[in-house]
Amino acid sequence: MNQLPIMAKQAAEIAHNTQELSDKLKDLVIDTSWQTNTSTIDPLVFAITIFVLASFVGYYVVWKVTPALHTPLMSITNAISGIIVLSSMIAASSSAFGFSGLLGYFATLLASINIFGGFIVTKRMLEMFKKK
């Protein structure tokens, strides 16, 4: 019986310490989440970096291809342009037709011209190999 008040006092101390640790953990989580949110890269810088890297990779890939393989390469770029048309149509159909919608419209137009031009060139190249 003598130990009940001592155990109650110890339980109260443990509860108090647990509450303090919980508060410290909450503050730590809040501070950490604030730091991770403020240390992100600007989306525009991120997009420009990806564009520049993709441009370099595309340039070096195309210039390493032998001239005899340029027509099949053009067929592959037609498929890629199809993906660009789809994504540009999504950008153009946004609810707020602003600058991104205008860019999406022009991207759709230019990618469509690229696709049809690629099909015309591919057709001409295939006609060169037909027997006359």
pLDDT tens digits along 63-122:
787 777 776 777 677 777 777 788 777 777 766 667 777 777 888 888 888 888 878 887
The stretch 31-53 carries a mean pLDDT of: 75
Tokens read off for 57? 């990779």
User: pLDDT at position 107, please?
Assistant: 80
Torsion of CA 80, 81, 87, 88, to 10 degrees: 160
Mean pLDDT of the chain: 77
> Which residue in 45, 47, 122 sits closest to 79, CA to CA?
122
Of the given ranges (35-44, 47-56, 65-74, 87-96), which has the lowest mean pLDDT? 35-44
> Which residue in 74, 81, 89, 82 sits closest to 121, CA to CA?
74
State the pLDDT confidence band at 25, using cuts at 50, 70 and 90. Answer: confident
User: pLDDT at position 102, please?
Assistant: 79
